Structure 1
Amino acid sequence: MNAAQSVGPEALPALQEQVEQIIAEARRQGASACEVAVSLEQGLSTSVRQREVETVEFNRDQGFGITLYVGQRKGSASTSASGADAIRETVAAALAIAEHTSEDDCSGLADAALMAREQPDFDLYHAWSISPEQAVEKALLCEAAAFDADARIKNADGTTLNTHQGCRVYGNSHGFIGGYASTRHSLSCVMIAEGEGQMQRDYWYDVNRKGELLADPVAIGKRAAERAASRLGARPVPTCEVPVLFSAELAGGLFGSFLGAISGGNLYRKSSFLEGSMGQTLFPEWLTLDERPHLQHAMGSSAFDGDGLATYAKPFIKDGVLVSYILSTYSGRKMGLPSTANAGGVHNLFVSHGDQNQAALLKQMGRGLLVTELMGQGLNMVTGDYSRGAAGFWVENGEIQFPVQEVTIAGNMRDMFKQIVAVGNDLELRSNIRTGSVLIERMTVAGS
């Protein structure tokens, strides 16, 4: 690829042709089956700090991932070069690896009959014709709004505007080939407040397929400043067992941990606390988690998964009961189950919710902790034990009283899932997991 070539939909035919050439080369060198994933991406990133430009970066990358099979033996290799010699050498390298690996009864391409036959356009590509100068201007405007919003905002930790566009193509020796172009644009602002003998940092951001639909830079800056200033005077609270409300932007992480626990890789390795849980009631009966992979504009939409299988809408949790694992072709074979067309992950997870906003959930909680920041990776996937550093706000009589820091929240995820009291209507739309704030009936808050 030369620098003048597009990375929009018009680049797809050339990428698809390269995939076909690689598959043909793999056959020529003796592979019994082959699959190829190609990506071509470019982006602009600008960041400012303390009213001055820090970085303006343009990047352009491409990559070819080639997986070959010789019977039940598998070999993989990758390259960023697209020339005939590079492709021939990469195929040879993958073939050499395959010849030295053990046979695996579960390896190989997915069933040809399951390949995606239709590839609708989900309107994921919207190039943003913004110049580096315009990007810098928006970032500076965002940061200036943050400084102007509160006199206690004394420092900045970076305001960044990113615009990204790319193409992805997957093909295999069954004759399947699919591809799509997508864009992702974002603006984030991190500010530092000083006061009451403390320095506190917080942020805000927005993400969209369309750059023109990003939240107003002034609004993002103000929100970042308000969040940072609101944390001044934070202190620990005595150790207690109380309800905990996870803000919507953090609640997705709870469901992300759940998805990891029902994913085939953890299940067949027997390293998940939800192994053998199919058919069990894991959540309250009013709660449903379902995947909707065919939404227009959404961050996770795709017509096919990483194996080329047609994606489809389905629940993982229905009326509180686990009704489906998350399986690729390989993990499904390891478990003796069909693939759920989730090689590469879940596409647009929706969490059922009520009609209460976060303020109403605080009223319902009465006394407890609103969590707005989590630190560390404190989940034991084997046991489900959960323990993470947290910060947020202490709540009494349904009203925020003061900011909290230096506490740890702990519980077991099985208990946490069953003790979800409510999910708010303040949906997080910037993520692949759409959920509102989540109120959990009881957790241990360990503080002073």
Structure 2
Amino acid sequence: MQNLSQLTADLLTAARKAGADAADAIATDGRAVSIDVRAGALEQAERAEGVEIGLRVLLGQRQACVSASDTKPETLAEMAERAVAMARIAPEDPFIGLADPAELSDTRDAIGLDLCEDAPEPSPADLEDAARRAEATALSHEGIAQVQSAAASYHRTRIHLAATNGFSGGYARSSHSLYCVAITGEGTKMERDHYGEARIYGADLPTPEEVGRLAAERTLSRAGARKPKTGAFPVLYDERVAAGLIGHLLSAANGASVARGSSWLRGLLGEQVLPDTLSIVEEPHRVRTSGSKPFDGEGLRTARREIVTDGRLNGWTLDLATARQLGMQSTASAGRGPSSPPSPTLSNIALTQGDATRDDLIRDMGTGLLVTSLIGSSINATTGDYSRGASGFWIEKGQIAYPVNECTIAGNLRDMLRSIVPANDARPWTGRVVPSLLVEGLVLAGD
């Protein structure tokens, strides 16, 4: 097994030797197995293994990044020389630079976060068996014409980050997933839906039979879908798509967008962006959750952070460069890949849940649309104007009346988010803990 700590140290030594003023390096070592079945037979089997390395060098206020998948000493030297040559001709950026050593995290691993299962890798035969069982369960439901895909996979990745400011730390992640897509009907009457989950520990996954059953039940409930009415109606975003709505707010609060002047949230810092009963909290140290991380991509210690408190926007999501550009402090939110410099990203987030169930909100909304799937996107990042294709179920007199498809919902994110009403059905183990959300008065284009 490759020593990633030594590998990043060697990259930094090569960068210094090539003439870099400062540098940081990242190395990842991963393996992945994915199995797909169809019609009871193996459809596809993939396995990938490898090390990827990335180096960022800084010459004054110029920087360049290079990456490779070869770890031979001569490759490291060539990477460093090439990166320095690129940096010499790069434009100056007054905001780049490594963290001050006093800012660096004392935590250099993920002990206590339980991000990686300490167990043997599942065999391809076990993954194939799980996918076959999910498919067979879905097909056992009358009305399911076929299963488009049933897949099981496993991933394990080690990550190590080091920099010439003295930081060096790393950790591992694992992921098990199981997924099934079922189809009912034929031709233009065909409808599909799915169910699947990904978890750090394989034992936390639902059984293949449960995955297949839920995929089939969701699909069968969509049989006979038609266009809904056109007009202004309340829209209930089901829990499985509601996180995307909150994601638009979080994207607009990203420091990179704010610094470019392309965020519809600009000028709203400290202002009301959600109802005053709701908050959004980032929780990077949540145990046994895939989005958790002990430090960010620049070696800063991550911490719990309230992005929105009682409906008011507290601040932006910042790495060091965007923080400097905006005259603020980094929120330890830098993400980093081998081939790119740091940029602001989020870990786990949670929106305040409500007291009502999803059924309560359906009952109270009277007539409107329950959205279970969103298709495409037309969102103006500067104005917040929102338009998306959707499918789901039409609600009449507080009850599900019939499935719908081929409709468009439109509004403005600023108005939409300030009127949301949350249910209490968020899944606590996901990286985006967001319940079903009711939004008043969106424009629907159907029949």
TM-score (norm 1): 0.95
Equivalent-residue separation in structure 1 for 2:229 and 2:244 (angstroms):
26
Q: Which amino acid aligns with 2:410?
A: A
Residues 163 and 196 from structure 1, CA distance in 2 versus in 1: closer, same or farther, beyond 3 angstroms?
closer
DSSP-derived class of the 2:190 partner: strand
Is structure 2 residue 106 aligned with structure 1 residue 136? no
Partner of 1:51: 40
Cα pair 2:143 2:220 within 8 Å, conserved = yes
- What's the offset of the Cα at 1:355? 2.5
DSSP-derived class of the 2:379 partner: coil
2:140 to 148, 159, 165: 148
1:194 to 182, 185, 189: 185
Partner of 1:253: 244
Partner of 2:215: 224
Summarize deviations over 1:298-329 as a string: whole Å, max 9, x none: 11111111111110101000000001110110
Cα pair 1:128 1:211 within 8 Å, conserved = no
DSSP-derived class of the 1:377 partner: strand
- What's the offset of the Cα at 1:368? 0.8
- What's the offset of the Cα at 1:428? 3.3
Cα pair 1:196 1:232 within 8 Å, conserved = no
2:52 to 39, 56, 63: 63
Is structure 2 residue 314 aligned with structure 1 residue 315? no
Equivalent-residue separation in structure 2 for 1:53 and 1:196 (angstroms):
26
Residues 128 and 233 from structure 1, CA distance in 2 versus in 1: closer, same or farther, beyond 3 angstroms?
farther
Equivalent-residue separation in structure 2 for 1:63 and 1:80 (angstroms):
4
Summarize deviations over 1:216-269 as a string: whole Å, max 9, x none: 110110110111111111111221111100011101111111111010111111
Q: Which amino acid aligns with 1:367?
A: T
1:44-443, aligned counterparts within 5 Å?
44-119=33-108, 120-121=110-111, 122-126=113-117, 127-149=119-141, 151-194=142-185, 198-344=189-335, 345-420=345-420, 422-429=421-428, 431-443=430-442
- What's the offset of the Cα at 1:128? 4.8
Cα pair 1:196 1:233 within 8 Å, conserved = no
Summarize deviations over 1:50-88 as a string: whole Å, max 9, x none: 111101111112211100001111111111111100111
Summarize deviations over 1:278-304 as a string: whole Å, max 9, x none: 111111000000111111101111111
Residues 128 and 248 from structure 1, CA distance in 2 versus in 1: closer, same or farther, beyond 3 angstroms?
farther
- What's the offset of the Cα at 1:430? 5.8
Cα pair 1:37 1:168 within 8 Å, conserved = yes
Q: Which amino acid aligns with 1:148?
A: S
Cα pair 2:99 2:165 within 8 Å, conserved = no
Cα pair 1:419 1:442 within 8 Å, conserved = no
Comparing 104-113 with 191-200, greater Cα deviation is found at 191-200
Summarize deviations over 1:160-203 as a string: whole Å, max 9, x none: 00100010111110110110001011000001111797111110
Equivalent-residue separation in structure 1 for 2:105 and 2:128 (angstroms):
42
Q: Which amino acid aligns with 1:142?
A: A
Equivalent-residue separation in structure 1 for 2:433 and 2:107 (angstroms):
26
Structure 2: segments with no counterpart, 5+ residues: 336-344
- Aligned length in residues: 435
Comparing 126-135 with 198-207, greater Cα deviation is found at 126-135
DSSP-derived class of the 2:14 partner: helix
Percent of residue pairs identical? 36
Cα pair 2:295 2:332 within 8 Å, conserved = yes
Partner of 1:8: none
Residues 228 and 365 from structure 1, CA distance in 2 versus in 1: closer, same or farther, beyond 3 angstroms?
same
Equivalent-residue separation in structure 2 for 1:206 and 1:429 (angstroms):
13
Cα pair 1:152 1:195 within 8 Å, conserved = no
Residues 63 and 129 from structure 1, CA distance in 2 versus in 1: closer, same or farther, beyond 3 angstroms?
closer
Q: Which amino acid aligns with 1:112?
A: P
Cα pair 2:10 2:76 within 8 Å, conserved = no
DSSP-derived class of the 1:183 partner: strand
DSSP-derived class of the 1:212 partner: helix
Residues 38 and 410 from structure 1, CA distance in 2 versus in 1: closer, same or farther, beyond 3 angstroms?
same
Equivalent-residue separation in structure 2 for 1:44 and 1:237 (angstroms):
42
Equivalent-residue separation in structure 2 for 1:408 and 1:365 (angstroms):
19
Is structure 2 residue 20 aligned with structure 1 residue 28? no
Summarize deviations over 1:409-444 as a string: whole Å, max 9, x none: 000000011111x21221134642111101112211
Is structure 2 residue 26 aligned with structure 1 residue 37? yes
Q: Which amino acid aligns with 2:88?
A: E
- What's the offset of the Cα at 1:213? 1.5
Q: Which amino acid aligns with 2:382?
A: V
Structure 1: segments with no counterpart, 5+ residues: 6-10
Equivalent-residue separation in structure 1 for 2:188 and 2:266 (angstroms):
48
Equivalent-residue separation in structure 2 for 1:382 and 1:65 (angstroms):
33
DSSP-derived class of the 1:376 partner: strand
Equivalent-residue separation in structure 1 for 2:195 and 2:83 (angstroms):
44
Equivalent-residue separation in structure 2 for 1:37 and 1:254 (angstroms):
32
Q: Aligned-residue CA RMSD in angstroms? A: 1.3
Equivalent-residue separation in structure 2 for 1:19 and 1:425 (angstroms):
45
Q: 4+ runs of 1 displaced by more than 4 Å?
A: none
TM-score (norm 2): 0.95
Equivalent-residue separation in structure 2 for 1:275 and 1:203 (angstroms):
37
